Every structure is written in C-alpha cells, then in structure tokens.
Amino acid sequence: MTDVIVVGAGLAGLNCALTLQSRGYAVTVLEAADAVGGRVRTDRIDGYLCDRGFQLLNPAYPAVRRYVDLEALDLQPFTAGVAVAGAAGTTLVADPRRSPSLLAKSLVSGYVQPRELSRLAAWAAPALGPVHRVLADSDDLSLRESLDAAGVEGRLRREILEPFLAGVLAEDEGSTSAAFVRLLLRSFLLGTPSLPAGGMQALPEQLASQLREPVQLERPVTSVQGGDEVVVHTLDGELHARAVVLATDPATAAELLQVQAARMKGLTTYWFSTDEPPRSDKLLVVDGRRDGPVLNTAVMSNVAPTYAPPGKHLIQATTLHPSDAVEADVRIQLTRLYGTSAGAWELIVRHDIAEALPHHPPPLTHRREVDLGEGRFVAGDHRDTPSIQGALVSGRRAANAVTQQLV
C-alpha cells in the first residue's frame, strides 16, 4: 500500500505529487494517456512542434515562478503587444512600459484614442494592485457588464481588447468573471508570454522528471472508493492507499467523485507550414474586424525557431470550438490578415480541443473545496482558476489538505 495515489498527470496532479513527495510521502501517479501533461501536450510532426491547441507560458504567474525551473525551459518570448488587423491595415498596440515606441506609433496612427485608453487604464488599474484586492472583489461582474459600467467603449474595446480576450478566454460573449480577467491582465502586464524552446509539453515533463516513482502511463482509473483505506480501481486491478487525489479533467472528476462538472469551452488550432514567413516579427496578430473565424494567429517559428525545421516556418491560427468554419474560411482570413496568400500553406495538423478551459463566470470562486471526505481529494484548474497558474495552485492546495489528514 502506498501513502497517496494521484490520478492524472496534468499540471495539478504533478504539482500535487511533487509537494507530497517533498514531505516524505510515498506517491503513485496513474495517468490514462500515453504521456504526461494533460491539456499541455506537444505533437512532434516532421520536425515541427505543434502544441495541442495554441497556448502560452506566462513566466509572471506566481506559481510558475515558484515551482518551475524557467531557465531550463529556455523560454522564447513573444513581443509584449499585439498586431491588430483592422480596416486601415495592421496597427501595433503595445504595453507602453515595455515597448514605448510601439505605443507611440499606435497613438500617432489614431487607432487608440487617449480617452478610451484612460478609461481602460482605470478599469484595469486594480490588476496592478495587490492580488488580494482583486480576489476580494465582492461586486464581481461579467467582463461585458464590467466594461460597460466603466464606460470602456470604442475601437480599443471592440477591435483590440475583445478579440484578444476571446482567444485567451475561449469565449466571445464577455461572460467570464471580470476579476479573473484582471488577474490574467496582471500576468500579461508583469510578464511576457513565452514558449519553451522544446514546446509547451516541456513544462509538465520537467515536473514529472522530478518524481522518484515514474508516472504510470496508460493506466486509466475506472472507480474510486473512499474509506479509512481508499481503493482505486484500474482496468488491470486495484490499488490501496491512505488517500487519493483525483487530478483529472473536470468531466472525469465529476463522473468518479460526483463533484459538480464545470462547463467547458473549446478552441481549435490550425498549424500551417510555409517556406517564407508572412511576417518577420514576434507578435500575436488579432483580427480587429472579426471578419472570419480566426481569433488570433502568429508565426510561431519567429518566436521560437525550434518550432520548425531549418528553412521552414510554422504558423498557428486559432478559432473558437465548435465553429461552423471550414479550413477554406481560415485560409481566406489568414490571407487578408497577413497580406499574402495562405492558399498553398501546408496544413500539418488541426487540434480540436472541445474541453479546453472551464468556464469561470462571476463571482470569482478561486478556492473551491478540495477535501471530499473519506480520504478522497480533488485537484485541477476547475477548483481554482482556468489556467496553468490555477492548475499548479490547486495541486498544491490538495497536497496541503492531504498532508493535514495524514499527519
């Protein structure tokens, strides 16, 4: 019998297992898939690194700074800002503190009106204050209601903020908690989103490599029984432990532990290869006109040359999922966004991630119960916030709760 069984080797399960291991407990991690990482996986296809759905690692996340060896990941940063493709061409909108010259260009171009900017700055100001104040916002509204109430209007909202956030939140109705969006903005303002040179999966692999007992892959858990001694059933038998942490995706947690299932939001990412990069910079491009299904796109190999083989380039284009759009629609929009034909680009792979992010409406509930009694615990981004930060924190919280019970 082991001390603790952790079910699921996503970021939450891995951080939970590492925390328990550091406190001297014997931990067994069971993972259904053929590799660790959960929603943070990378496909290696013909020398290209295609993350399973476009995602970014923000080195400003407190949990990332605390639990991850960022230097070993060899982070490749995007430029701090976005390129907005609008009616009058492409405009660069940048973080004024880190790219002052780019912001000046935006203002001169007339794209960003100073009045809109000051209202948005006032709305976002709490994001740069103490985190506990954002978390304690008892009047939390949906993003849409909150921006309306603050009088944030105009092109800055419609053509920059909303298209950008739609890709980050996997929804374009503005129904996410405004307090959560402020937390996200905080990390965007404090850190520069980046890609590990070895692909996003390098992050969970780094965590897994520190476990003394390797993760048992392709061992799906079929049921869990609580009690003084917990029993975990797999396809090939049962295991016993003093406690079990279910760090699976929300739907499986709901099925195995009868916790309430979070509503999930989806994203689709198309990965294209080409000989000539359609842009030479390291900016995320958003479509200010929303004239097509693509929310954002980027030349990934400009940011991280390791994402493509020598002489080739890799482009990602992300849409909401589900979507009625077909690949031809995506190519037409990309042709317009980049000003060069995307018709002949080779599609390497398309990732449809129906369950990308748990929906997080207001009020922000970032500390959901993790101790379900009878030696059963639950972890995952659905217990905290839908992000890498939330998953890591939730794993730590579950480990703390287990520790309290086992002492």
Ligand X SMILES: Cc1cc2nc3c(=O)[nH]c(=O)nc-3n(C[C@H](O)[C@H](O)[C@H](O)COP(=O)(O)OP(=O)(O)OC[C@H]3O[C@@H](n4cnc5c(N)ncnc54)[C@H](O)[C@@H]3O)c2cc1C
Stretch that binds ligand X, among 25-33, 86-94, 122-130, 363-371 (CB under 6 A): 25-33
333: nearest Cα among 341, 344, 322: 341
Q: Which residues, 274 to 293, sit near ligand X by CB under 6 A?
A: none
- Kindly tell me which of 58 and 91 has the beta carbon lying closer to ligand X: 58
In the complex, minimum distance from the CB of residue 101 to ligand X, in angstroms, rounded to a whole number: 26
- Report the 10 Å Cβ neighbour count for 42: 24
CA distance 235 to 238: 8
CB of 318 to ligand X, least distance (A): 8
Structure tokens at 388: 């890498």
- The contact pattern for ligand X, residues 172-211, with x = CB under 6 A and - = no contact, is ----------------------------------------
In this structure, which amino acid lies at residue 104?
Answer: A
Q: Choose one: 52-60, 67-75, 123-131, 329-337; the region binding ligand X (CB under 6 A).
A: 52-60
In the complex with ligand X, the residue whose CB is nearer, 86 or 390, is 390
d(CA 310, CA 275) in angstroms, rounded, equals 10
- Check binding of 83 to ligand X (CB under 6 A): no
Q: Which of 53, 126, 196, 198 binds ligand X (CB under 6 A)?
A: 53
Asked if 379 contacts 394 with a C-beta cutoff of 8 angstroms, the reply is yes
> Is residue 13 close enough to count as binding ligand X by CB under 6 A?
yes
Q: Which long-range contacts (CB under 8 A, 24 or more apart) does 67-75 make?
A: 67/15, 67/18, 67/207, 67/392, 67/396, 68/203, 68/206, 68/207, 69/206, 72/206, 73/196, 73/197, 73/198, 73/202, 73/203, 73/206, 74/196, 74/197, 74/198, 75/194, 75/195, 75/196, 75/197
- C-alpha 360: how far from its chain's center? 13
Q: For ligand X, which residue of 387, 393, 398, 402 counts as binding (CB under 6 A)?
A: 387
Our finding on whether 386 is near ligand X (CB under 6 A) is yes
CB of 260 to ligand X, least distance (A): 15
**DSSP-assigned letter for residue 24:** T
Residue 17 or 299: the one with the smaller Cβ distance to ligand X is: 17
Binding ligand X (rule: CB under 6 A), the pick from 388, 393, 398, 399 is: 388
Question: Cβ(193)–Cβ(77) under 8 Å?
Answer: yes
Q: How many CB atoms lie within 10 A of CB 280?
A: 7
Of 93, 232, 267, 378, the residue at the interface with ligand X (CB under 6 A) is: 267
Fill in the per-residue mask, 215 to 254: x = in contact with ligand X (CB under 6 A), - = not in contact. -----xx-------------------------xxx--x--
Torsion of CA 107, 111, 114, 116, to 10 degrees: -150
Minimum Å gap between C-beta 229 and ligand X is 20
Q: How far is the CB of 264 from ligand X (least distance, A)?
A: 9
Residue carrying the six token digits 């490599």? 209
40 or 315: CB nearest ligand X = 40
Rg of the chain on CA atoms, in Å: 22
Give Cα 380 to chain centroid, integer Å. 13
Q: Is 378 in the site for ligand X (CB under 6 A)?
A: no
Q: Is 380 in the site for ligand X (CB under 6 A)?
A: yes
Query: Of the ranges 10-18, 111-119, 277-285, 360-368, which one interacts with ligand X (CB under 6 A)?
Result: 10-18
Contact 21, 27 (CB under 8 A): yes
Smallest distance from ligand X to CB 178, Å: 18
Distance from the first to the final alpha carbon of the chain: 17
Structure tokens at 32: 């259904």
- SS3 label, residue 269: strand
Near ligand X by CB under 6 A: residue from 33, 124, 135, 349: 33
Shortest Å distance, C-beta 262 to ligand X: 10
Complex with ligand X: residue 220 or 226, whichever CB lies closer: 220
Give the total residue count for the chain: 407
CB of 250 to ligand X, least distance (A): 8
Query: Can you give the binding site for ligand X, defined by CB under 6 A?
Result: 7-13, 30-33, 38-40, 53, 55-56, 220-221, 247-249, 252, 267, 353, 356-357, 380-381, 386-391
